[in-house]
Amino acid sequence: MSETKYALVTGASSGIGYEVTKELLRRGWYVYACARRTHPMEELRAEFGDRCIPRKLDVSNQNDITQLKLKLEQELPDQKLHLLYNNAGQSCSLPAIDVSEEIIDNTFRVNVYGPINSCREFAPLIINAKGTIVFTGSLAGICPFPFGAVYSASKAAIHQYARVLHGELGPLGVRVINMITGGVATDIADKKTLPEGSIFNFPEGIKAVETRKKMSEKNQPMSPADYARETVNDIENGSIDPVDIYRGTMATVVKWLMLLIPYALLEWGLRKKFKLYPAYSVLNKRQLQSQRQRQRLLENTIKHD
């Protein structure tokens, strides 16, 4: 008889996390569906019964993770967790020099500290099961999309963590998969507005930022259900162990662009795609006007002296 499988999915209340949870339940898994809001998972519980186990979890809160670990140690048969799916994420689409310390801290607590803390706490349960750890990575972690410096940095950090973890836990029978994710139709787009003092806070600059925020929805993103089905296939196919797997719209295309396109050409293409050149034109004109004003003030001062 096959062993009953147990999974823990973070960020399970919507988007990728919700659909991965649903796909696992369809295939007979027991799933700890974890998120700050558990109400959205109640319909899954109604459909799949006690195999769906909603749990309130804020991955940025170490105490939440520790308390959940203690519960799992009591509830899991033989203390075996077969899948830890680190999906909870925080978006951030702002110019690099506009991101406040608070936003930086929140982004890294959710996107980096949360998964790392979760892996540390739940690792004994995963090792017991010779299970799988999955991260929802991002193309932003490999490609320098404009207005995504902090989000990209957080994803690049977790990509590298996943790769090192793969090397360390592989000999113990644990698979580690970094899902480098392209376009998926979720509601993760950043809704923060530009700070009032931003150098891009003028019509052309705002248009460039909004173009970046709508990047995914304008490129025929994959449905979360399709993404979840492919991802769970990867998880259940124990014969593959590549560390990085590319899923979602444009994922494979961007992978090859990053390998083959000269960096200067890549930057030019990104600036053009995200409508940055009209914004730069305005900024350069403002800078030139400012220089002329300073020059005139200097000349007037010299005359008066």
**Residues 189, 214: Cα–Cα separation, whole Å:** 7
Pairing of strands 244-247, 175-181: parallel
Q: What is the DSSP string of 9-44?
A: EESTTSHHHHHHHHHHHHTT-EEEEEES--GGGHHH
Contact 100/220 with Cβ under 8 angstroms?
no
Torsion, CA 232, CA 238, CA 243, CA 249, rounded to 10: -30
Closest alpha carbon to 221 in 2, 15, 14: 15
Residue 273 annotated among the catalytic residues of the structure? no
Q: Is 56 assigned a catalytic role? A: no
Q: In what order do the strands lie in the sheet with 244-247?
A: 52-56, 30-35, 6-10, 83-86, 132-136, 175-181, 244-247
Active-site residue flag, 275: no
Residue 145 and residue 125: Cα distance in Å, rounded?
37
Catalytic residue of the set 5, 13, 30, 85: 13
Which of 118, 155, 216, 227 is an active site residue?
A: 155
Counted residue by residue, the chain has a size of 305
Report the distance separating Cα 102 and Cα 79, nearest Å: 37
Which is the catalytic residue, given 151, 161, 227, 246?
151
Catalytic residue set: 13, 151, 155
